[in-house]
Amino acid sequence: MKLKTITLISSILAITAASSSMASTRTAIPDLVITSAGLQLERRCNSSKPLIKAYARVKNIGNGSSPQRNTGMVLALDTHNNRWGNSTGLKNLQPGQSAVVTFFIYSRAINQRHLPGTHRFKFRLNTNKWFTESNYTNNVRYVSVRIPRGYCRSLQRRNRNMIQPAPVPRKN
């Protein structure tokens, strides 16, 4: 009986050692999440300046570090399907580490008549799956910004003037 107990205990210890060895060889994988995000309307509307300042706080809740990407890692896109938005890169994040990124969204990328009103932007991380994450479904957050009517009146007037064709001289 004593020999069977010792054999059983040594078998359990061998299984435990093998499983902990397998656990230590598992690949560490990052998991990025947007913990907060926001949009701030700039003070003045100007075609050569940013219209909206976007920011996002990104945290790595995974067990592996994320690689640095200089472009396209944090994206904010208007949900009206007009391709209005912008993106920025993200530095390398160790597990548990956070970073705040700031980038700008310009007015000239959109039809000026579409500007007034509320715009809902979809913030996304690692959209093109540049690297493997343990969970891609937590990479999205929605934020809205309201652009008051008349905020970009000078741009709307200027665009209207540019769109109108030049008068054709009359023949007498």
pTM of the model: 0.73
Residue 154 has a pLDDT of 55
93 inside domain:
yes
Encoding tokens for residue 158? 């200027």
| Residue 19 counted as domain residue | no
Domain membership of residue 158 (yes or no) is no
> 68-77, 110-119, 137-146 — which is least confidently predicted?
110-119
Q: For residue 83, is it within any domain? A: yes
Q: Residue holding tokens 């890169």?
A: 89
Of 104, 143, 140, the residue nearest 32 (C-alpha): 140
Please check whether residue 58 lies inside any domain of the structure.
yes
125, part of any domain: yes
* pLDDT tens sequence across 79-137: 988 888 999 999 999 999 999 999 999 876 667 778 888 999 999 999 999 999 999 99
- CATH number of the CATH domain containing 71: 2.60.40.10
Number of domains in the chain: 1
Q: Residue 161: what pLDDT?
A: 39
- Give a yes or no: residue 95 inside a domain: yes
Domain limits for position 61? 32-148
Q: 74 burial class (0-12, 13-18, 19+ CB within 10 angstroms)?
A: buried
Q: Is the dihedral of CA 70, 73, 76, 81 positive or negative?
A: positive
Per-residue tokens: 50: 């940013």
Q: Residue range 160-165: average pLDDT?
A: 40
Q: Strands 50-60, 98-106: parallel, antiparallel or unpaired by DSSP?
A: antiparallel
Indicate the SS3 state at residue 99: strand
Whole-angstrom Cα distance, residue 72 to residue 66?
A: 14
Domain presence at residue 165: no
- State how far the alpha carbon of 98 is from the alpha carbons of 62, 73, 122, 137, in Å: 12, 14, 20, 19
Please tell me the distance from the alpha carbon of residue 110 to that of residue 57, in angstroms, as a whole number.
26
pLDDT (tens digit per residue) in 11-67? 555 555 555 544 455 789 999 999 999 999 998 877 778 999 999 999 999 999 999
